[in-house]
Amino acid sequence: MSNRHLMGRRQFLVVTSTCAVATAAVGPKLFAAEPAAGAPPKRLAIGYTTLGEQTAVMDAATITAGDGGFIGRGARIAVSGASGAPLQPRARRAVELVTHFSYFDGAERRTAPFRAWGCSRTTGCQGSPVSFTVPVDDVQKITFSVGTESGMPEGPGSRRQMLFGEPTQSAALPVVLTVQNEEGALKLARGFYVFVPLFEGDRDPRWSDFELRQVEGRWTLVDHAGVVAPFEHFVLRIDYAAS
């Protein structure tokens, strides 16, 4: 009797193991229609164009000199939200823009993060357009970080997440705009800066293929036929805070 019970247990273990292997092999195919959220980001591509109407977009690295006019005036920064985002919210990449304000705490310099813009990867909602002033006199630069996510968004897990596990991976990609010569930084100038998070396999945009227009109340990259760029991006308008 005990031998029969042992044989039944062995059979149960064999069948259970076989089902687990089959689920692991077949599961991804069953859920293949659900889009992958992408790998962690590698870097940012940053474009630039002047404040004039219908001016060409170029690589921000080609700006040759920072604008010392920001010293004593500060910078007024406007962020209207992201464009070119996927239709499904969980496939979004950029989730927030943070500006890092520099200040002294006694003799020690510190930074205070200000979350200027954010979006939800669960609902797709974006924060309202915002503008704010950043002083430039002290450090003569402005520091941002672009928050990105991959994997399933936080919140109640989907069936795929429960079965296979797709933990959220977060990253903060830094951007420094300066009026000085600083290694690894871009030059600060009056104009529009376009931030594009690049993931594994992504190529830099061909900036000359695009121009900036206002679409649904926010500045957006569009091609010369007026079609919104097919990659996620958001635009910062930077000008003097005081004349």
For residue range 53-104, what is the model confidence (pLDDT) as tens digits? 667 899 999 999 999 999 999 999 999 888 998 888 888 888 899 999 998 8
**What share of the chain has pLDDT > 70, as a percent?**
76
The closest of 221, 169, 204, 205 to 41, measured between CA atoms, is: 169
Q: What is the DSSP letter of 158?
A: P
For residue 63 the two structure tokens come to 């700006």
How many CB atoms lie under 10 A from the CB of residue 7?
10
pLDDT at res. 119: 87
Q: With 80 as the cut, is the pLDDT of residue 241 above it? A: yes
Q: Which residue has 């404040």 as its token pair?
A: 51
Exposed, middle or buried: residue 121 (CB in 10 Å: 0-12, 13-18, 19+)? buried
- The chain-wide mean pLDDT, for the chain, equals 80
Integer CA distances (angstroms), 77 to 129, 186, 189, 205, 235, in order: 11, 16, 12, 23, 10
Q: Note whether 236 and 195 are within 8 A (CB).
A: yes
Over residues 34-50, the pLDDT tens digits come to 334 455 567 899 999 99
Type of residue at 77 = I
> Which residues, other chains included, contact 218 with Cβ-Cβ below 8 Å and sequence gap of 6+?
80, 81, 83, 129, 235
pTM of this prediction?
0.76
In terms of Cβ atoms closer than 10 Å to its own Cβ (0-12, 13-18, 19+), residue 19 is exposed
For residue 170 the two structure tokens come to 């977060």
